[in-house]
A and B are shown apart, each in its own frame.
Chain A
């Protein structure tokens, strides 16, 4: 593949992410990685459900008393919106519109950072009221599940930012198109996991 080849929106392939063998390999490989990630999160969810509300005798914290939905609902909406904006970015990537793609990715990153900031605020709040990582089996399971998701958000954001900066001057080519595509795929996956966290941890937690 020639990295310096210039394209027009007409000569740019419909599916640049799988137009080369390297792209095809990355595409399949990344879906498989997501399968492994799914199993990872399944294990974390199962552990969380087993340890929910479990702690030393007389523990004052429970999911029903701890979680507050307004903040988490706002986080959910922000993350879901960021998934939508990354779809727009990929739409422009497929149309060979580099500037529009970068703009939508920048919006995605902003939303992701907001989400991350709110999560840090939330964790900080819990620690502040005494519900720290070492408080109980419940707290360990909660922070590990939600924190692992948060670490994925951080990694996804770093990935987006690195790609945007690296390719800012040279635009799209067959070498970096699969990279952008996979980063957005990763972002969707993070979003789906959050939907489950919102449901299983927060909604089901508040119901009691």
Chain B
């Protein structure tokens, strides 16, 4: 339990990651598994574009195509984008507010493992009788008619990983409310912390409706309920409402942290304080608030009536206002700044016009009568890829370059980073810009092929060629990562030279207790203030050096998640008449609740790092933890 340096074997390292409750290690776990699922989703995207490269192609069958589009959407949203953003939140947010860990380190680990097992469960469907094939929205009328177990994998897998995300959301909220360093008032919090805060609040209130909807789906398909079975009095529109009451806040759960990352980048690389910090904060809160009032704009063509459509159309247009406020604040942050075009900044600058384009098409769809034309066409596909890829994925790539040094202590290559950027950025616009026109020409989304006489060949071929460029960009990024790990050139506290917030004031990667002494915060951009005052230590301290209380690691989160994973197989095969299914269900639940009980009954008081160990650590420079 001391921080004495020791070289660990491979098995010990694996065990360390399985039992860790350190937010920085959990961030690495999120980044690795999110990155893995990002590659899986990317391969699925390539399969889609290969199938659509020419008219009448038979590369994929219609059924397989449905599975691939469903898994592409589900994987990218739930298993790639969100976990990678959670990785940055975990890695950076506690450091930004001057905390030694999150409020609930144990739950942090549990949240990760639930997400991880949920993702694995969902993807096992490929090898166990077929993947879900009703689209990522899984509309009940399609889903109930789907044969095999694909939809069951979807419902159970997302339930598990959804619990994990909910736990992460609560954890971040409490961390930000309770664990801020002295002087870190709400209006001194860095923008990334603010967006984490609001996105976590959205997670808290948006995930329960999804879980309820998924349970209805599980009950209908596996246990004979009839929530969505029309002949039994059910109603499929209930699924659509529950899904989109979750689904719309979900896109803000993704985009707000992306906004946060870009806000940090604009300030750092323009060497300026964020323009209109207060406006940015309130715009973030407003976007979160309105995010719950617009879900039915996904359902304009359902037939809710003109009144409902008008209300939701108006609410949707209003959201453009706070988003516009943000765009102008970023532009004015750059304005007159001393700009350095490092890789993160290039992504940030490219993000603005791309995201504005996606926002404009969004407002177009908010016009309900026009949406009757655009609905379910490639225009929609183009729109949401412009906001999700043009917003969230660009932020993820930018954030990977920006925070890599803080997470791993090495710098990704700037040169390769720029190559990645240009391939990815040009490839992205080549792929998706033209899809607006395909949509206007009448090409519906989710079709597995088209005829040669429909005039969509050329544009689809162009779109597919863009996808090749994007894939090339991602491959260069992987090469970059491998080269950086092999070279292992260590860097200092503030590798970008212009860090403004607390995370840049401490070593990269930080020691496992983050701050030997809790910092005292004197204003917005804490570290910048201390730098300008010539403070060599980078911060002033709120307490003398003393013993630090830290939480113990635990394998229990892994076991709880494993129990839920096992129980899901039991539920899945329950109706197949497999005699072992019920036993597996009960056994899995017993493992889950048993380990929860063990956690509840066994005292876990943590341990202390003594002052002497801290002093030795400061001299020896070991930051590996225990």
Chain A residues packing against B (C-beta within 8 Å): 1, 3, 21, 24-25, 28-29, 32-33, 35-37, 39-40, 43-44, 46-47, 50-51, 54-56, 59, 133-134, 136-138, 140-141, 144, 159, 162-163, 166, 175, 179
The reply to whether A32 and B174 form a contact with Cβ atoms under 8 Å apart is: yes
CA distance A24 to B600 in the complex (A): 18
What residues of B have a CB within 8 angstroms of the CB of A134 in the complex?
Answer: 223-226
How far in angstroms is the closest Cβ of chain A from B209?
A: 5
CA distance A76 to B174 in the complex (A): 34
Contact residue among A39, A136, A175 (Cβ-Cβ distance under 8 Å from B605): A175
What residues of B have a CB within 8 angstroms of the CB of A3 in the complex?
Answer: 603, 605
CA distance A140 to B216 in the complex (A): 9
The reply to whether A54 and B208 form a contact with Cβ atoms under 8 Å apart is: no
| Contact sample, A vs B, 24 pairs, CB 8 Å cutoff | A3-B605, A28-B173, A28-B178, A29-B104, A29-B173, A32-B173, A33-B170, A35-B204, A36-B204, A36-B205, A40-B209, A40-B211, A47-B238, A47-B242, A50-B238, A51-B233, A54-B234, A133-B223, A134-B223, A134-B225, A137-B235, A140-B226, A140-B227, A144-B215
From 596 to 613 in chain B, residues with beta carbon under 8 angstroms from any chain A beta carbon are 597, 600-601, 603, 605
The reply to whether A35 and B205 form a contact with Cβ atoms under 8 Å apart is: yes
Q: Chain A at the B interface: mostly helix, strand, loop or mixed?
A: helix
The reply to whether B170 and A25 form a contact with Cβ atoms under 8 Å apart is: no
What residues of A have a CB within 8 angstroms of the CB of B318 in the complex?
Answer: none
Chain B residues packing against A (C-beta within 8 Å): 103-104, 166, 170-171, 173-174, 177-179, 204-205, 207-209, 211-213, 215-216, 219-220, 223-227, 229, 231-235, 238, 241-242, 245, 597, 600-601, 603, 605
What residues of B have a CB within 8 angstroms of the CB of A33 in the complex?
Answer: 170
Contact residue among A40, A144, A159 (Cβ-Cβ distance under 8 Å from B225): A144
The 3 closest A-B pairs by CB, nearest first: A54-B233, A137-B233, A140-B225
Closest B residue, CB atoms, query A140: B225
The reply to whether B605 and A29 form a contact with Cβ atoms under 8 Å apart is: no
Closest B residue, CB atoms, query A167: B601
What residues of A have a CB within 8 angstroms of the CB of B605 in the complex?
Answer: 1, 3, 175
The reply to whether B601 and A50 form a contact with Cβ atoms under 8 Å apart is: no
How far in angstroms is the closest Cβ of chain A from B529?
A: 27
The reply to whether B208 and A39 form a contact with Cβ atoms under 8 Å apart is: yes
CA distance A86 to B201 in the complex (A): 30
What residues of B have a CB within 8 angstroms of the CB of A40 in the complex?
Answer: 208-209, 211-212
The reply to whether A29 and B170 form a contact with Cβ atoms under 8 Å apart is: yes
Interface core residue of A39, A46, A137 (most chain B CB under 10 Å): A137
Report if A133-B224 is in contact (Cβ < 8 Å); known contacts: A25-B104, A47-B238: yes
Report if A47-B216 is in contact (Cβ < 8 Å); known contacts: A33-B170, A39-B205: yes
CA distance A141 to B225 in the complex (A): 9
